[in-house]
Amino acid sequence: MTIETVKDYLRVDGDDDDGLISLMMETAKEYIVSAVGEYDEEDKTANLLFCAIVQICMIIESLCNLIYSKGRLLNTLSRV
């Protein structure tokens, strides 16, 4: 599956997150292989699972950024 296909699924425009998405794609493939034993790129179910795993990784990364930003904001506000 290409990065463009995954970005279409995730509704991501631009190239800013390509490195992160590529890393998450590798992680998704490794997860599927470790869970099932193989990843068949021709299997529609495997591709849907692959995209779902990448999407979950993106959500977790976004939540981590939000928590980090909120912590920095609270730290700044506590100094005022």
Residue-wise pLDDT tens digits, 35-44: 888 988 899 8
Alpha-helical (H) ranges within 1-80 are 3-10, 18-36, 44-79
| pLDDT score for 80 | 63
How crowded is residue 10: how many other Cβ atoms within 10 Å of its Cβ? 16
Residue 53 has φ and ψ, to the nearest 5°, of -65, -45
Asked whether residue 4 carries a pLDDT value surpassing 70, the answer given is yes
Q: Whats the size of the chain, residue-wise?
A: 80
